[in-house]
Every structure is written in structure tokens, then in C-alpha cells.
């Protein structure tokens, strides 16, 4: 991920905001729903077990192109009250709260609280569940491309059905 972030930052510095926006879009890949990532079963094979929904819980590095200026940070997602919540910490500003995160197939929607109003992040989740690519839309209507890459971790989060202590 560091190589990706460094490459994208250099692209923005050397070739301008258009190159960064193109890099972000190209790196996101096609809009493939998570369920479509499984190989097709042969007609004689036993039915496949239902695929487990991806677990977004964890820390994610993110990069956003804000009008030609790369903005890096940390997205931390946790499970709370049967859903997801967390925080987004851009490197240049204070942390903000993730109010809501929803996942429908391979599409995600996040609502981030800010002083000026809610900021929305909509996009696609990679079939592996480790990369989010999409657009951030600010309260004033401005939109910018953003991608997030999940950090590797050995921590295993609790299954959704288990209550906390």
C-alpha cells in the first residue's frame, strides 16, 4: 500500500491533478460485486456454500485527491450495535466520526460527520473485501476520488451474532 500511495502522490506532483484522478479511477478496477467474485460452479457440482459477507472491521489507509492535492489518512472501522462505525483521520486535520457505513453487495455507502455537514463516501468494495474505491461528496456538492486499502492484521473480530461483554 505504501508503494501505491507513494506512486499516486508522485503522479500528482509530477503530472497534475488529472493524472491522480485517473490513477485513482484506474486503480479501483471494474465495479464487480463481491458475490460475483466466486467462480461459476459446474452444473454437476454440489451447490456452493453461501459466501460470507466481507468484514470491514479494521484499519484502512486512504488517499483522496482534493482538487489536485493528495490527502492521506487513516480510516478505522469497528463493529457497534449490529453495524459499523468508526473514525476517519486525515493527516492534515482532526479526526471525524463515521456515522454510518452500509454495504449492499459490492457497493458501500459511508456518512462522515463534519462541522459543516455530512460528507458522503460512495463506491465499490473489491471482491477480496480489502479495497474501497469511490467518490467523496462534500456538503457543498464538491466531489473527489478516494481509495482505501485495508491494512493487514492478525486480529480476528467477533462474528456478528456474538454479543459483547
Q: Between 18 and 79, name the one with better pLDDT.
A: 79
Return mean pLDDT, the chain: 75
Do 51 and 1 form a contact (C-beta atoms < 8 A)?
no
Which of 148, 119, 150 lies closest to 132, judged by CA? 148
pTM > 0.75: no
What residues pair up with 122 in beta bridges, in sequence order?
109, 135
The model's pLDDT over 4-54, given as tens digits with 9 standing for 90+, comes to 444 444 444 444 444 444 444 435 554 433 333 333 334 444 444 446 778
- What CA–CA distance (Å, rounded) separates 37 from 52? 12
User: Between the CA of residue 144 and those of 20, 67, 118, what are the distances in Å?
Assistant: 11, 7, 15
The model's pLDDT over 81-102, given as tens digits with 9 standing for 90+, comes to 888 999 999 998 889 999 999 9
Amino acid at each position: 500500500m505504501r508503494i501505491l500511495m507513494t506512486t499516486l502522490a508522485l503522479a500528482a506532483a509530477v503530472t497534475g491533478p488529472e493524472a491522480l484522478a485517473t490513477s485513482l479511477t484506474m486503480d479501483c478496477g471494474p465495479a464487480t460485486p463481491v458475490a460475483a467474485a466466486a467462480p461459476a460452479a459446474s452444473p454437476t457440482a454440489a451447490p456452493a456454500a453461501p459466501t460470507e459477507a466481507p468484514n470491514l472491521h479494521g484499519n484502512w489507509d486512504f488517499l483522496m485527491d482534493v482538487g489536485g492535492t493528495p490527502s492521506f489518512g487513516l480510516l478505522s472501522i469497528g463493529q457497534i450495535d449490529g453495524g459499523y462505525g468508526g473514525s476517519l483521520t486525515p493527516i492534515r486535520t482532526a479526526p471525524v466520526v463515521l456515522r454510518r457505513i452500509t454495504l449492499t453487495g459490492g457497493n458501500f455507502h459511508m456518512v462522515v460527520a463534519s462541522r459543516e455537514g455530512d460528507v458522503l463516501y460512495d463506491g465499490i468494495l473489491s471482491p477480496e473485501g480489502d479495497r474501497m474505491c469511490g467518490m467523496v461528496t462534500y456538503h457543498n456538492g464538491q466531489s473527489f476520488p478516494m481509495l482505501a486499502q485495508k491494512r493487514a492484521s492478525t486480529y480476528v473480530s467477533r462474528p456478528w451474532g456474538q454479543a459483547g461483554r
